[in-house]
Chains A and B, each alone.
Chain A
């Protein structure tokens, strides 16, 4: 599927590295075309568990490492408008819900995006992902003229609930940028990348497809996850 030209793309995820595996190719494609892309990353992944054994970081030194990795990922994608929103990892769902909607509404009002990318409510596994998805959907629901809303879903029951993704992007032209974004988050991705590179070296087609195609769902307003907020 050809990626349509957008006016402005807003990407909202809670953790550094949430963008890397499933979305960095799409982000890089828009940037390559000169489309402005804003990435609002809500936390610094302060509660990441990959600290190594022997440890390469502590609970207290991890945020600074992940902040640098996030910036390096943005650089790899060519992204210049990176917003670190200052929340704490694993606490997003406990923030005031209306405050979260307000944070999203402010971003949308400022940037006037034609496309927003986030997680799919109830199908994104991590509590921070779910809270982010709810806040974005609620903010967009209130708009008169809604932008497109593309959501990442990866819960084990995703296929049962939504069927196959209805948005499929070929990002093979920006493979290097995508690899760069994944490698930027090396503290959290080193094991996964080693496994992936082994499979790629063996010519594993499934891994190649996974790397060069990105999958999203248009948010289904006719099956909204809640009636009102």
Chain B
């Protein structure tokens, strides 16, 4: 993965617009957050291999960036995005990695389903 450069990532987001794509979106504090910090309110969400079709995708802000996808009837967005990669299967993988190297958020789009 490489650090997000807004102009480069924008080109990739544009390329996936207006077609059916599989979505992976996750936010996480890790399953041990409350174990290490007992007062911590641990929340997160995960969705994988749901098909969307966005008409507009935008990456905004300084790092960590925000990325939003406008759908005909709704929205998808993620904040905290630091890195991206167009992988060898042509999937656009975006992720937010904190200073200690832990993934905090991931937003991925692909024309073919992700593994289970």
Residues on A facing B (Cβ under 8 Å): 47, 49-55, 58-61, 63, 88, 90, 125-128, 155-156, 191
CB distance from B26 to the nearest CB of A (A): 8
CB distance from A190 to the nearest CB of B (A): 9
Are A58 and B95 CB-contacts (below 8 A) given A51-B103, A53-B100, A125-B35? yes
- Tally B residues with Cβ within 8 Å of A: 30
A111 to B4, CA, bound (A): 51
CB closest chain-B residue, reference A62:
B103
Option from B35, B85, B98 in Cβ contact (under 8 Å) with A58: B85
Q: Is the CB of B28 within 8 A of A49?
A: yes
Chain B residues lying within 8 Å of A156, measured Cβ to Cβ, are 35, 38
Option from B30, B82, B104, B115 in Cβ contact (under 8 Å) with A60: B115
Q: Is B39 an interface residue (CB 8 A)?
A: no
Are A60 and B114 CB-contacts (below 8 A) given A126-B32, A155-B35, A156-B38? yes
Q: Is the CB of A51 within 8 A of B114?
A: no
Are A49 and B103 CB-contacts (below 8 A) given A55-B83, A55-B97? yes
CB closest chain-B residue, reference A63:
B115
Q: Is the CB of B1 within 8 A of A127?
A: no
CB distance from A45 to the nearest CB of B (A): 11
CB distance from B116 to the nearest CB of A (A): 6
Chain B residues lying within 8 Å of A59, measured Cβ to Cβ, are 24, 26, 93, 95, 103, 106, 108
Q: Is the CB of B93 within 8 A of A90?
A: no
A219 to B49, CA, bound (A): 39
Chain A residues lying within 8 Å of B102, measured Cβ to Cβ, are 49-51, 53
Q: Is the CB of B30 within 8 A of A49?
A: yes
Q: Is B46 an interface residue (CB 8 A)?
A: yes
A127 to B106, CA, bound (A): 21
Chain A residues lying within 8 Å of B101, measured Cβ to Cβ, are 50-53, 55
Q: Is the CB of A90 within 8 A of B31?
A: yes
A60 to B115, CA, bound (A): 8
Q: Is the CB of A88 within 8 A of B31?
A: no
